[in-house]
Chain A
Amino acid sequence: NAGVMQNPRHLVRRRGQEARLRCSPMKGHSHVYWYRQLPEEGLKFMVYLQKENIIDESGMPKERFSAEFPKEGPSILRIQQVVRGDSAAYFCASSAEQGGTEAFFGQGTRLTVV
């Protein structure tokens, strides 16, 4: 049973380009969470999704950021027109149920904007 898979592990983008981060949850998990870790900071919640639904996006910046979790395929975190401040490690986690159980994390995607 593969764990949470994130790709790519490392992503370099020039300012103004788009970044697409992918997350395949653990088998049987239908809940996905995205977190961002800026240098020297903790994990900041961004968005919580279930299949085809955004449950909570209170941590998402209002502009340039979007997320989806389609019926088929991985969850995608999309950052348009990236800026240097978007450079961070982005972690995806999945869980089997709503709360009350642990969420399992992927190894993260380290985004560097140059």
Chain B
Amino acid sequence: DQQVKQNSPSLSVQEGRISILNCDYTNSMFDYFLWYKKYPAEGPTFLISISSIKDKNEDGRFTVFLNKSAKHLSLHIVPSQPGDSAVYFCAASITGNQFYFGTGTSLTVIP
């Protein structure tokens, strides 16, 4: 039972353009959402998070948007850089419980 879904396994974007990674969830009890970035043979690295009381959180080139009514969140990277090429996982949690991860989207930024 996949409670967090990333329906696009891969995404290719030209350098300098915007990358938009999407994530859907099914459990309305989730109250904290996170994005992680993962390079091959390394552990996931925390990127950005958002609480359910907000609908947007920005950190430099990275912005996460949360649409609670649609149970959807997205990560925007602008401008995209070749070093952003990695697998991106979204995750969700209910305060006090485990983190649920999506299956990941592999982003390739083309120079």
Contact = CB atoms under 8 A, between A and B. Distances in A.
A108 B40 CA distance: 11
A105 interface: yes
Nearest to A103: B99
Contacts of A28: none
Contact of B46 (A42, A55, A103): A103
A110 B41 CA distance: 9
Interface stretch (A64-72, A77-85, A92-100): A92-100
A43 B94 contact: no
B89 A43 contact: yes
A42 B102 contact: yes
B105 to A, nearest CB: 10
Interface of B: 6, 31-32, 34, 36, 41-46, 49, 51, 89, 93-104
Interface of A: 4, 6, 33, 35, 41-45, 48, 55-56, 59, 91, 93, 98-108, 110
Given A91-B43, A99-B32, 12 more contacts: A6-B43, A33-B99, A41-B103, A43-B44, A45-B101, A48-B98, A55-B98, A91-B44, A93-B44, A99-B96, A101-B32, A103-B46
